[in-house]
Amino acid sequence: MSRGVAIETSGRIGSVAVVRDGAILAEDQFPHGLQHAAQIVPILDRLARAQGWRPREVEELYVSAGPGSFTGLRIGVTLAKTMALATGVRLVAVPSVRVLVENAPPEARHVVIVLDAKRDQIFTARFERDTLSAAWIEREPAHLDSLVTMLERAPRPVHLIGEGIPYHEKFLTTNDPTVIVTRADAWRARAAAVAKVGVDMAARGEFADPFTLTPFYIRRPEAEEKFAQT
């Protein structure tokens, strides 16, 4: 029986989950930020021990790898790599946009992810739900773009998901009923979805190397870009 844990730190609220044979057993959340990073390991330890697991009995670790919060991703990926090197747990780097599309309502067929990248840009991806299997097909992988150009390319009706929506509302046409803004409680990535996607990736053998794994930032953090210009 497969034992796994999931870490989600790409957004404003972080979360962790434990999973066994694809079933979510428990999930907990914590505030985002460096000051809360130290909470992640104790929460994971508590959730795992509640299932009677010792740290070295966890076989798979699913981590949300980006795009998203630069600080959050750095924390989550660094922790995942450290745990893999210390315990031998196998890593699965789950695309954060793939995690977010799991929040789409049942009626959604086309989804655009909206994460704020500042300067009127977004980290985004576009998905389509397969009509037969209901599986999500990635039509545009995660990249840097604008909401306007993404909507120009997206089939209708299209659902928008992501914590960047409030920052880009000015680009939405309020009288267009084919562009549907999902409920705010669907904008946050969750560890349970990281685990769901991660379990499927692990079944396909899509494991990451802890020595080479880095967050998928898409572009460098703003501070690094400014430094490079000096």
**Mean pLDDT of all residues belonging to the chain:** 92
- One domain for residues 9 and 80: yes
What is the mean predicted confidence (pLDDT) over 53-69? 95
**pLDDT tens sequence across 129-185:** 999 999 999 999 999 999 999 999 999 999 999 999 999 999 997 789 999 999 999
**pLDDT tens sequence across 32-51:** 665 667 789 899 999 999 99
- One domain for residues 20 and 80: yes
> Which amino acid, one-letter code, is at 172?
L
pLDDT of 173: 77
What is the mean predicted confidence (pLDDT) over 88-96? 97
- One domain for residues 83 and 195: yes
pLDDT band for 55, please (50, 70, 90 cuts): confident
* Nearest Cα to Cα of residue 155 among 137, 143, 169, 135: 137
- One domain for residues 220 and 170: no
Q: Answer yes or no: is pLDDT of 117 > 50.
A: yes
Beta 23-31 vs 60-64: how paired, if at all? unpaired
In the chain, how many domains are there? 2
- One domain for residues 108 and 79: no
- One domain for residues 81 and 118: no
Domain membership of residue 124 as a residue range: 104-186
- One domain for residues 68 and 54: yes
Q: Answer yes or no: is pLDDT of 230 > 80.
A: no
- One domain for residues 158 and 201: no
- One domain for residues 109 and 91: no
Q: Annotate the chain with DSSP letters as a single string.
A: --EEEEEE-SSSEEEEEEEETTEEEEEEEEE-SGGGGGGHHHHHHHHHHHTT--GGG--EEEEE--SS-HHHHHHHHHHHHHHHHHH-PEEEEE-HHHHHGGGS-TT--EEEE-EE-STT-EEEEEEEE-TTT--EEEEEEEEEE-HHHHHHHS-SSEEEESTTGGGGGGGS-TT-TTEEEPPGGGSS--HHHHHHHHHHHHHTT--B-TTT-----SS--HHHHHHHH-
- One domain for residues 161 and 223: no
Domain harbouring 135, CATH code: 3.30.420.40
Q: The pTM is what?
A: 0.93
> Which amino acid, one-letter code, is at 53?
W
What is the mean predicted confidence (pLDDT) over 116-137? 97
- One domain for residues 181 and 115: yes
pLDDT of 227: 41
Percent of the chain with pLDDT over 70: 93
* Nearest Cα to Cα of residue 17 among 36, 38, 43, 42: 43
